[in-house]
Structure 1
Amino acid sequence: MSHNDIISDWFEEYGNDIYHFLIYRIGPSDAEDLLQEVFIKALKGYKSFKQNSSPKTWLLSIARNVAIDESRKRKSRKWGNTIPLEKANEPKTDISPETIMDLNEETKIIYQCIQRLKANYQDVLILRGIKELSVRESAKILKWSENKVKTTHYRAKIALNEELRRCSYEGAQSSRAVR
């Protein structure tokens, strides 16, 4: 079986998982392009896949690196356009109207709150909480120790709960203002 065939099979098997990871990590507007980039990198780097982990773990590791690169590009673009500092720290909100319509209200709030967290928290919440990967699989993808995955996941859940409370409070305040 050729490398192209193997990567093609992996795309069929793991493409949705990689795509969902990218949506939560970067946002839906660029997820499809980045998904293609992940599989192009996998094809080019196939010889470096040592089969110490599952193909899914390896692909998610590539996706994480692609997402980090994209985040850096976005930050450099923000600084290049001299956006005021208070705007630079706002969460990403480049979700298409179609995507918003597909999400239920609770999922939208969780998505927005995850986007407001720091990158390490986003990664571990998506891998452990949303994709339901094991501590060991997450550690391989993140290149962390298993203890760091557990600790960071715990802290990320606390930060997400605080962010969710903040979102709920802001939502309650805005609904009162509308009345």
Structure 2
Amino acid sequence: MTSYLEKLESIYKAYQPAIYAYLLRQTKNTATAEDLCQDVFLKAFEALPHFRGDATIKSWLYRIAHNHYVSYFRKKDVQAVTVMEDTNLYPLLSAVHSPEDFYLHKEKLDELYRILDEMKPVFRDILILRDMQELSYQEIAHVLGWSLGKVKTTIHRARLQYKKEAGKKGVRSDEMLNY
């Protein structure tokens, strides 16, 4: 039988990288994402004894992260950062071998974030949860407190909006959301 501390440690090890990546994509700032991630896990650990199991631990943590990010954003009146400046914010680029490839991929990611930043926050959030964080529709419904139908409809509308905005900028929208 595992102890409570071992359970906390296993949850942290299993989900911290994904929650941090989500918050990093939202804030585009490593220090802020680290602080928010720490807060999310503190809140989760305090609430864990009351976790009823209505959802998975994963979607429960994402819901805490999403709500904490929204709360932080409202309190701080945070200005949106258009482009990530720190190359540490581009984890997918670590597989790129040449400087030319790195630059081309970084430019694509910068364009992706510019397009996302210009979208309605709800569309940006849902695309990050589905296409970047790879949450299921059911998990997204739990994170946002929506019905499954609303999630599907909003994802569809967000993708249409994204394609429209990408088309205006001459970007192939089919390859961009896979980052």
Q: TM-score range by the shorter chain?
A: 0.7 to 0.9
- Sort the Cα spacing of 1:100 and 1:3 in 2 relative to 1 into closer, same or farther, 3 A: closer
5+ residue gaps, structure 2, are 94-104, 172-179
Matching of residues 85-124 of structure 1 within 5 Å:
91-93=80-82, 95-99=84-88, 103=93, 104=105, 105-124=107-126
User: Residues of 1 paired with 2:88 and 2:72: CA distance?
Assistant: 20
C-alpha distance in 2 between matches for 1:36 and 1:54? 20
**Structure 1 contact 24–114 (Cα < 8 Å) conserved:** no
In structure 2, the residue matched to 1:174 is none
Ranges in structure 1 where 5+ consecutive residues have no aligned partner: 79-90, 170-179
Return closer, same or farther for 1:122/1:2 CA change in 2, 3 Å cut-off: farther
Q: Could you say which residue in structure 2 is the equivalent of 1:56?
A: 58
**Does residue 46 of the first structure (1) align with residue 48 of the second (2)?**
yes
Q: Which residue of 1 aligns with 2:24?
A: 23
Alignment check: 8 A CA contact 2:83 2:113 kept = no
CA contact (8 A) 1:3 1:43 kept: no
1:32 aligns with 2:34: yes
Could you tell me the percent identity over the aligned residues?
Answer: 31
Distance change in 2, residues 1:8/1:112 (3 Å): farther
Partner of 1:140: 142
Tell me the distance in 2 between the aligned counterparts of 1:112 and 1:165.
13
Give the counterpart letter for 2:61 in structure 1: L
**Which residue identity does 1:20 align to in structure 2?**
A
CA–CA distance in structure 1, aligned partners of residues 118 and 18 of structure 2: 22
- Is the alpha carbon distance of 1:144 and 1:4 closer, same or farther for their aligned partners in structure 2, counting shifts above 3 Å? same
Structure 1 stretches of at least 4 aligned residues deviating more than 6 Å after TM superposition: none
Assess if the C-alpha contact under 8 Å between 1:28 and 1:99 holds in 2: no
8 Å Cα contact 2:24-2:89 kept in structure 1? no
What is the Cα deviation at residue 161 of structure 1?
Answer: 1.8
User: Cα RMSD between the aligned structures?
Assistant: 2.2
What is the CA–CA distance in structure 2 between the aligned matches of 1:92 and 1:16, rounded to whole Å? 22
1:164–1:100 distance in 2 versus 1, CA, 3 Å? farther
Shift of 1:15: 1.1
* Distance of 2:128 and 2:165 partners within structure 1: 16
Amino acid at match of 1:138: I
